[in-house]
Amino acid sequence: MWPFPTPYPTLTPQQLRAEYDYVIVGGGTGGCVLARRLAEDRNGTVLVIERGDARDIWLDRFPLPSTHYWSDRKHSMVLEADMLGQKTDIISGKGLGGTSRINSMQYSRGTSGEYNAWAQAGRKGWSYSELLPYFERTECLYNPATNAHYGTEGAIIRSSQKAGFTYGKDVNDPKLPTSGCFLTHHTIDSSGTRHSTFRAFLPKEFALAHSRNLHLCVNTVARKIEMEPLADGNLRATGVVVQSATPGAASVFVKARREVILCSGALRTPQVLMLSGIGPEKHLRDIGVPVVHILEGVGSNLQDHLGPHVDLQCPLEHSLYLLVRRPWYLLYQLLRYFIFGDGWFLTSLVEVCILTCARWLDADSGQKPLTEEDKDPSRPENIPDLEIIAWQSPKYDRKRGGFSMVAALLRPFSRGTLRLRSSDPLEQPIVNLNCLSDTRDRTTMRTGVRLCMRIVREMEKDGYPVGYFKAPQSLDDDALDAFIAGNSRSCLHYSSTCRMAPRDDPEPGVVDDELRVHGFTNLRIADASMFPQVPAAHLQAPVAVVAEKCADMIKATWRA
C-alpha cells in the first residue's frame, strides 16, 4: 500500500526450492511469455532463472529513454564480436523482458512465406497458417498506425513512392505484397508505455497472484544442465546448477521434475549447452569441458541482419537532437508525454520501412512492375531480402539535425560462430559474426546502398533539405564495398545458433520440430537461437510466437 508499495517478488538462489516442474533458463523476450503460459496452470511449478534484474522504474517505461542508444545501459548486455575484420560491440537485453526492454520496439511478424519456407523444408507445425493463432494470441492492436512522424519520415514516404514503391499502413498485413513502404508497429501500450514481454506477460500483479507456483530468480546465471542417461539411449535433463551473477558465488542445484527450457537467446543458450558438455566435440575438448553429448550445430550458423549506415543531415526540428540543443523543448516534450500521452518521448527510433527484393529493382534502383506471382506474400520466393529504415541515433554533430538511412540485409547467406572462452559461465563467449563472407551477401548489400541513395536523391528533388555526413563517394562496386566495410553495424538480430533442423542437416540442427534438443526427452529451446534461418523481420514477434507454441507443446506432452 502507498507509500510502501509491494516490491516485485524475486528470489535469490539460496531461497529456491529443491525442485520445480519446469525450470526456464532465461527470462527474456521468450522466457517471460513461456513462464506466463506455464504458470497459468497452477498445478505446475515454474522457476525462471534470469541473469539481469526485475527493475521497473520510469526510465524502463518511457519508450524513448529505455531504448538502448538513449538509455542508462542498465539492461544492456554488451559483448565483443569479430565483424568485417575488426572488433565491434554487439548488444542484447538483460533483465526480465530481455531485449524487448531496450529495442526500438519494432513489431513485425515477417511474411507468411517466411514460415511456409520452414514447412516446405520439413518442419511440421510451423507454416504460417499454423502459427497465425499464436501471433493473434500475443497481440492486442489498439492503434494500427502511429500519427506522430517526424518530417524525415514523411519525406521518405513521398520519395519511396516516387521510386515506385507502394505505400501500406500495416507492415503486418499478410495480404499485402512484400515489397513497398510501410508504417511500422510498435510495442507501446494504450497508456504510452513500452510494453516489453516483462510488462505484458509477467506484470507484478500476475507474479504476486502466482507466487506459490511461479518463482523468479534474478541476478543469477546457469552454470550447467545436469543430465542422466536413459535405457533407450536418450538423455534426460535432471535440473540446472545455478549461481548468483557474482564471481566466486556458491552454486545451487535445482531439480526439474518435468522439463528444462532454455530461453537465453542466440548468444547465451549455446553457451549454456556447451558449458554442460553439449556441443561440438573438438571445441569442448580444446576448452577442457567434459564431452557429454556431441551436437556439432551448437553455436554454429550464427546469423544477424547487417546494415551499412548512410549518415545524413536534416533540419534540427526533425531530429531528436533538438531535445539536447534546446532544453525548453525537452521540457515541453516531457510535459506533452505526461499530460497528453503523446510527443517525442512516445516515439520509436524507426517509424517507416521499405521492404523489397533486390531482384525487383531496376538499373536506377527503382521498383520494377511486379507480376501477380511477385505480389503473393505466401510464396517463400518473395521473402524480402532488403529493408531500408531511417532511424535517429545519438551519434551526429549536435549542432545539426541528423538521421541514418540503413540498408539491412535480411536474408544473409553468411554464417558465423559462437564458442566458449572458458568454462566460466560469467566469462563472455567468443563471437565471430563472419559477415559478408559469402559473396552473394556483398552483391545484395551494394543494391541496398544504391537504393538508399536513390531515396535520398528523390528527397532532394522534392525539396527536402537533406545533407551528407557520411555517404559513398560513388556507386561503383569498389567504392560501395569500401563504404560497406567501414560503415556497417549489426542490427542486433542474432539467431540460429541452435537451429531447428535434423541433426544431420548440411547446417546441423540442434532441436527437432517439438523444440527438443536432439537426443533429449525433456530439454527444449524457445528463443531466437532455434530459427532455421534469421527471419526477414524484427525478431521480438517471432520469438514470442515460438514461446507461445512451445508452451502448448509442453502442456500437451504432460497432459498425455
Cell of 123: 518442419
What DSSP designation does 404 have? E
**Residues across the chain:** 560
Report the half-sphere exposure of 101 (CA within 13 A, side-chain side): 33
Handedness of CA 160, 161, 166, 170 (dihedral sign): positive
The residue behind cell 563517394 is 473
Q: Which of 68, 195, 318, 538 is catalytic?
A: 538
Q: Of 525, 553, 521, 515, nearest to 236 (Cα)?
A: 521
CA distance 127 to 117: 8
3-state secondary structure of 150: coil
Q: Is 163 exposed, middle or buried (0-12, 13-18, 19+ CB in 10 A)?
A: buried
| CA gap 49, 28 in Å, rounded | 10
Q: Which three cell numbers stand for residue 403?
A: 538521421
Secondary structure percentages of the chain, helix, strand, coil, to 5: 30, 25, 45
Does the annotation mark 493 as catalytic?
yes
Query: Around Cβ 328, how many Cβ atoms within 10 Å?
Result: 7
Q: What is the CA radius of gyration of the chain?
A: 23
Place of cell 551519434: 395
Angle between helices 439-461 and 151-162 (to 10 degrees): 110
Which one of 293, 318, 493, 518 is the catalytic residue?
493
Which residues are 430's β-sheet partners? 419
Tell me 176's DSSP state. Answer: S
99 belongs to an annotated ligand binding site: yes
CA angle 470, 471, 474 (to 5 degrees): 145
Decide if 186 is catalytic: no
Bridge pairing between strands 251-262 and 523-525: parallel
The C-alpha cell 499478410 sits at 174
Q: Which residues are annotated as a binding site for FAD?
A: 99
Q: Which residues are annotated as a binding site?
A: 99
Q: Which residues are catalytic?
A: 493, 538
